[in-house]
Amino acid sequence: MDFAGWLLLADLMHEDVERVLITEEVIEKRLGVIAKKIQRDFASEEQLQVVGILKGALVFMADLLRRVPLRLEIECLNVASYHGGIESTGRVDFLDQKLPEVKGRCVLLIDDILDTGQTLEAVSRRLIKMGAREVKTCVLLTKDKPRATEVEADYSAFKIEAEFVVGYGLDYGGRYRNLPYVGVLKPNVIK
């Protein structure tokens, strides 16, 4: 069988998606706007340290930061709060042995989504404790719901309803991060 024939038979992840919430084209346009804001706001910053929260921020930060022509430095840190389900557990685990060096620096913290707010809150607090001069936060999505802690993102690309979404970095059970759009899964896919 040729490649095209094989593709038609393959069980593609798109089949698990009930509806597309934010298309690739819309994301792309919005990233341009956010990138310009970041470029303008941090233009005078000599040592802008970007810290991305893995793995959710991976796709978003790669696309966003290529549009920001500042001399920034990129670090990542690994944090878990969902532990595979569709509800935040409220427990934020730092999975790295060593955290990025941020002493005296201005940090732009990037995550995929602001949900209960506990992740951004816990990581910001930790970075400040480690000596960061200032921490600004940036997310692709903000869920429209009350937060467990008083935290809002300084930069947010889209506001969405309080429902479980996947794609563009966001996963369900480790999958769907590579969907090029943000979407909602079919109910039968979620166990």
Residue 117 Cβ vs ligand IMP, minimum distance, rounded to whole Å: 5
Distance CA 108, CA 31 (A): 15
Question: Interface with ligand IMP includes 158 (CB under 6 A)?
Answer: no
Alpha-carbon dihedral sign for residues 75, 58, 163, 187: negative
Distance CA 156, CA 23 (A): 16
Residue 4 Cβ vs Mg ion, minimum distance, rounded to whole Å: 35
In the chain, the N- to C-terminal Cα span, in Å, equals 34
Interacting span for ligand IMP (CB under 6 A) from 13-21, 66-74, 81-89, 98-106? 81-89
Among residues 114, 123, 138, 182, the one that binds ligand IMP under rule CB under 6 A: 114
What tokens appear for 123 in the block?
A: 């990581």
Active site residue 115: yes
- Catalytically annotated residue among 16, 115, 144, 154: 115
Residue 15 Cβ vs ligand IMP, minimum distance, rounded to whole Å: 19
Q: Where are the beta strands (DSSP E) in the chain?
A: 17-22, 48-54, 73-80, 93-94, 106-114, 134-143, 155-160, 182-185
Contact set with Mg ion (CB under 5 A): 56
Q: How many residues bind ligand IMP (CB under 6 A)?
A: 18
Residue 69 Cβ vs ligand IMP, minimum distance, rounded to whole Å: 27
Contact assessment for residue 168 and residue 140, using Cβ atoms and an 8 Å cutoff: yes
Partner from ligand IMP, Mg ion, none binding residue 115, C-beta < 5-8 Å depending on class? ligand IMP
Name 145's Cβ contacts closer than 8 Å, sequence gap at least 6: 115, 162
Beta-bridge partners for 170: 167
Question: Interface with ligand IMP includes 89 (CB under 6 A)?
Answer: no
Between 9 and 38, how does the x/- string for binding to ligand IMP read (CB under 6 A)? ------------------------------
Contact assessment for residue 165 and residue 177, using Cβ atoms and an 8 Å cutoff: no
Question: Interface with ligand IMP includes 117 (CB under 6 A)?
Answer: yes
Residue 82 vs 155, nearer CB to ligand IMP: 82
Active site residues: 115
Please give the residue ranges that form the binding site for ligand IMP (CB under 6 A).
53, 56, 81-82, 88, 111-119, 164-166, 170
